[in-house]
Amino acid sequence: MKEINGIINGQGKKIGIVVAEFNDVVTSKLLNGAVTQLKKSGVAEDDITVAHVPGALEIARTINRMAETGKFDGLIALGAVIRGETSHFTYVCQGTTRELAAASAQGKVPVMFGVLTTETVAQATDRAGGKSGNKGAECATDILEILSVEEQIKQL
Ligand code: INI
Protein backbone atom coordinates (compact mmCIF):
# COMPACT_ATOMS: atom_id res chain seq x y z
CA MET A 1 0.00 0.00 0.00
CA LYS A 2 1.18 3.50 -0.79
CA GLU A 3 0.12 6.34 1.45
CA ILE A 4 0.66 10.02 0.76
CA ASN A 5 0.94 12.69 3.41
CA GLY A 6 1.77 16.27 2.54
CA ILE A 7 4.72 17.97 4.17
CA ILE A 8 4.86 21.69 4.84
CA ASN A 9 7.83 23.14 3.00
CA GLY A 10 7.48 26.45 1.21
CA GLN A 11 10.98 26.64 -0.26
CA GLY A 12 10.80 27.68 -3.91
CA LYS A 13 7.01 27.87 -3.91
CA LYS A 14 5.30 30.84 -5.57
CA ILE A 15 2.04 31.77 -3.88
CA GLY A 16 -0.60 34.29 -4.92
CA ILE A 17 -3.10 35.75 -2.49
CA VAL A 18 -6.32 37.57 -3.40
CA VAL A 19 -7.79 39.55 -0.51
CA ALA A 20 -11.06 41.49 -0.38
CA GLU A 21 -11.05 45.05 0.96
CA PHE A 22 -14.67 44.77 2.20
CA ASN A 23 -14.56 44.26 6.01
CA ASP A 24 -10.86 45.06 5.88
CA VAL A 25 -10.63 45.20 9.69
CA VAL A 26 -10.97 41.43 9.43
CA THR A 27 -9.38 40.70 6.04
CA SER A 28 -6.16 42.61 6.86
CA LYS A 29 -5.72 40.21 9.81
CA LEU A 30 -6.33 37.19 7.58
CA LEU A 31 -3.72 38.55 5.15
CA ASN A 32 -1.22 39.11 7.93
CA GLY A 33 -1.81 35.57 9.21
CA ALA A 34 -1.33 34.07 5.75
CA VAL A 35 1.84 36.00 4.88
CA THR A 36 3.42 35.39 8.29
CA GLN A 37 2.72 31.66 8.12
CA LEU A 38 3.96 31.34 4.51
CA LYS A 39 7.25 33.01 5.45
CA LYS A 40 7.59 30.83 8.58
CA SER A 41 7.11 27.80 6.33
CA GLY A 42 9.96 28.81 4.03
CA VAL A 43 8.24 30.78 1.25
CA ALA A 44 10.47 33.69 0.17
CA GLU A 45 8.93 37.17 0.50
CA ASP A 46 9.58 37.83 -3.21
CA ASP A 47 7.60 34.70 -4.08
CA ILE A 48 4.40 36.05 -2.46
CA THR A 49 2.10 38.24 -4.58
CA VAL A 50 -0.93 39.92 -3.02
CA ALA A 51 -3.82 41.28 -5.14
CA HIS A 52 -6.40 43.49 -3.41
CA VAL A 53 -9.98 43.44 -4.77
CA PRO A 54 -13.11 45.35 -3.66
CA GLY A 55 -15.18 42.52 -2.17
CA ALA A 56 -15.71 38.78 -1.93
CA LEU A 57 -17.60 38.66 -5.23
CA GLU A 58 -14.50 39.85 -7.10
CA ILE A 59 -12.11 37.30 -5.57
CA ALA A 60 -12.82 34.35 -7.90
CA ARG A 61 -12.32 36.33 -11.10
CA THR A 62 -8.91 37.57 -9.95
CA ILE A 63 -7.97 34.09 -8.72
CA ASN A 64 -8.75 32.76 -12.21
CA ARG A 65 -6.61 35.45 -13.88
CA MET A 66 -3.70 34.63 -11.56
CA ALA A 67 -4.09 30.88 -12.15
CA GLU A 68 -3.99 31.39 -15.93
CA THR A 69 -0.58 33.10 -15.81
CA GLY A 70 1.15 29.85 -14.84
CA LYS A 71 3.33 31.94 -12.50
CA PHE A 72 1.92 30.56 -9.25
CA ASP A 73 2.13 27.12 -7.65
CA GLY A 74 -0.89 27.80 -5.48
CA LEU A 75 -3.39 30.50 -4.57
CA ILE A 76 -5.18 31.68 -1.43
CA ALA A 77 -8.52 33.51 -1.40
CA LEU A 78 -9.21 35.72 1.63
CA GLY A 79 -12.38 37.58 2.50
CA ALA A 80 -15.02 38.16 5.16
CA VAL A 81 -18.73 38.01 4.46
CA ILE A 82 -20.68 39.09 7.53
CA ARG A 83 -24.47 38.87 7.74
CA GLY A 84 -26.31 42.17 7.41
CA GLU A 85 -30.02 42.80 7.45
CA THR A 86 -30.75 41.80 3.85
CA SER A 87 -30.47 38.64 1.80
CA HIS A 88 -27.40 40.14 0.08
CA PHE A 89 -25.25 38.10 2.49
CA THR A 90 -26.66 34.84 1.16
CA TYR A 91 -26.01 35.76 -2.46
CA VAL A 92 -22.47 36.97 -1.76
CA CYS A 93 -21.70 33.76 0.20
CA GLN A 94 -23.19 31.45 -2.40
CA GLY A 95 -21.61 33.19 -5.39
CA THR A 96 -18.16 33.37 -3.81
CA THR A 97 -18.19 29.80 -2.53
CA ARG A 98 -19.39 28.28 -5.80
CA GLU A 99 -16.94 30.22 -7.98
CA LEU A 100 -13.94 29.52 -5.76
CA ALA A 101 -14.75 25.82 -5.50
CA ALA A 102 -14.91 25.69 -9.30
CA ALA A 103 -11.64 27.63 -9.60
CA SER A 104 -9.87 25.14 -7.35
CA ALA A 105 -11.41 22.00 -8.83
CA GLN A 106 -11.04 22.99 -12.48
CA GLY A 107 -8.25 25.57 -12.55
CA LYS A 108 -4.55 24.99 -13.14
CA VAL A 109 -3.52 25.32 -9.50
CA PRO A 110 -5.08 24.63 -6.09
CA VAL A 111 -6.99 27.44 -4.39
CA MET A 112 -7.47 27.59 -0.62
CA PHE A 113 -10.77 28.96 0.64
CA GLY A 114 -10.09 31.57 3.31
CA VAL A 115 -13.35 33.46 3.04
CA LEU A 116 -15.06 33.73 6.42
CA THR A 117 -18.87 33.63 6.37
CA THR A 118 -20.18 34.62 9.78
CA GLU A 119 -23.22 35.99 11.55
CA THR A 120 -21.33 38.70 13.44
CA VAL A 121 -18.15 40.79 13.32
CA ALA A 122 -17.08 39.14 16.60
CA GLN A 123 -17.28 35.65 15.06
CA ALA A 124 -15.17 36.87 12.13
CA THR A 125 -12.60 38.53 14.42
CA ASP A 126 -12.34 35.32 16.47
CA ARG A 127 -11.28 33.51 13.28
CA ALA A 128 -8.87 36.20 12.12
CA GLY A 129 -6.23 35.92 14.82
CA GLY A 130 -8.60 35.73 17.81
CA LYS A 131 -9.64 32.82 20.00
CA SER A 132 -10.54 30.54 17.09
CA GLY A 133 -7.23 30.86 15.26
CA ASN A 134 -6.49 32.58 11.97
CA LYS A 135 -8.08 31.24 8.77
CA GLY A 136 -5.42 33.00 6.68
CA ALA A 137 -2.61 31.19 8.50
CA GLU A 138 -4.50 27.88 8.12
CA CYS A 139 -4.79 28.47 4.38
CA ALA A 140 -1.03 29.09 4.19
CA THR A 141 -0.26 25.70 5.75
CA ASP A 142 -2.99 23.99 3.74
CA ILE A 143 -1.77 25.23 0.35
CA LEU A 144 1.74 23.91 1.04
CA GLU A 145 0.30 20.58 2.20
CA ILE A 146 -1.78 20.09 -0.94
CA LEU A 147 1.14 21.10 -3.18
CA SER A 148 3.26 18.44 -1.50
CA VAL A 149 0.51 15.83 -1.97
CA GLU A 150 0.25 16.70 -5.67
CA GLU A 151 4.04 16.52 -6.12
CA GLN A 152 4.11 13.07 -4.56
CA ILE A 153 1.25 11.89 -6.78
CA LYS A 154 3.23 12.99 -9.87
CA GLN A 155 6.22 10.96 -8.69
CA LEU A 156 4.30 7.68 -8.27
N1 INI B 1 -18.37 41.79 0.19
C2 INI B 1 -17.66 41.18 1.15
O3 INI B 1 -16.47 40.84 0.93
N4 INI B 1 -18.21 40.93 2.36
C5 INI B 1 -19.52 41.27 2.65
O6 INI B 1 -19.96 41.02 3.80
C7 INI B 1 -20.29 41.89 1.65
N8 INI B 1 -21.65 42.27 1.92
O9 INI B 1 -22.21 41.87 2.95
O10 INI B 1 -22.30 42.95 1.15
C11 INI B 1 -19.68 42.17 0.39
N12 INI B 1 -20.35 42.79 -0.59
C13 INI B 1 -19.69 43.38 -1.73
C14 INI B 1 -19.52 42.43 -2.89
O15 INI B 1 -18.61 41.39 -2.58
C16 INI B 1 -18.98 43.15 -4.13
O17 INI B 1 -17.70 43.68 -3.86
C18 INI B 1 -19.89 44.29 -4.60
O19 INI B 1 -21.22 43.85 -4.74
C20 INI B 1 -19.39 44.84 -5.97
O21 INI B 1 -19.42 43.83 -6.96
CATH of the domain at 101: 3.40.50.960
**pLDDT computed for residue 84 by the predictor:** 79
Query: Closest ligand 1 atom to the C-alpha of 21?
Result: 3
Asked if residue 26 belongs to a domain, the reply is yes
Asked if residue 10 belongs to a domain, the reply is no
Mean pLDDT across 80-109: 92
Answer yes or no: are the C-beta atoms of 57 and 117 closer than 8 Å.
no
Task: Determine the distance separating the centroid of ligand 1 and the alpha carbon of 137, expressed in angstroms.
Answer: 22
Task: Determine the distance separating the centroid of ligand 1 and the alpha carbon of 37, expressed in angstroms.
Answer: 26
Q: What is the helix (H) or strand (E) element at residue 48, kind and residue range?
A: strand 48-53
Q: For 137-149, how does the pLDDT look when each residue is reduced to its tens digit (9 = 90+)?
A: 999 999 999 999 9
**pLDDT computed for residue 88 by the predictor:** 87
Asked if residue 152 belongs to a domain, the reply is no
> Does the annotation mark 88 as catalytic?
yes
Mean pLDDT across 88-92: 91
Ligand 1 binding pocket mutation candidate from 24, 82, 92 (most atoms within 8 A of CB)? 92
Q: Which of 113, 94, 95 is nearest to 17 (CA)?
A: 113
Asked if residue 7 belongs to a domain, the reply is no
Asked if residue 70 belongs to a domain, the reply is yes
Task: Determine the distance separating the centroid of ligand 1 and the alpha carbon of 60, expressed in angstroms.
Answer: 13
Number of domains in the chain: 1
Asked if residue 5 belongs to a domain, the reply is no
Helix, strand, coil content of the chain in percent (nearest 5): 50, 20, 30
Mean pLDDT across 49-65: 97
Q: Note down the domain range covering 56.
A: 17-145
Q: Which residues line ligand 1 (CB under 6 A)?
A: 20, 22-23, 54-58, 79-82, 84, 88-89, 92
| Per-residue pLDDT band at 86 (split at 50, 70, 90) | confident
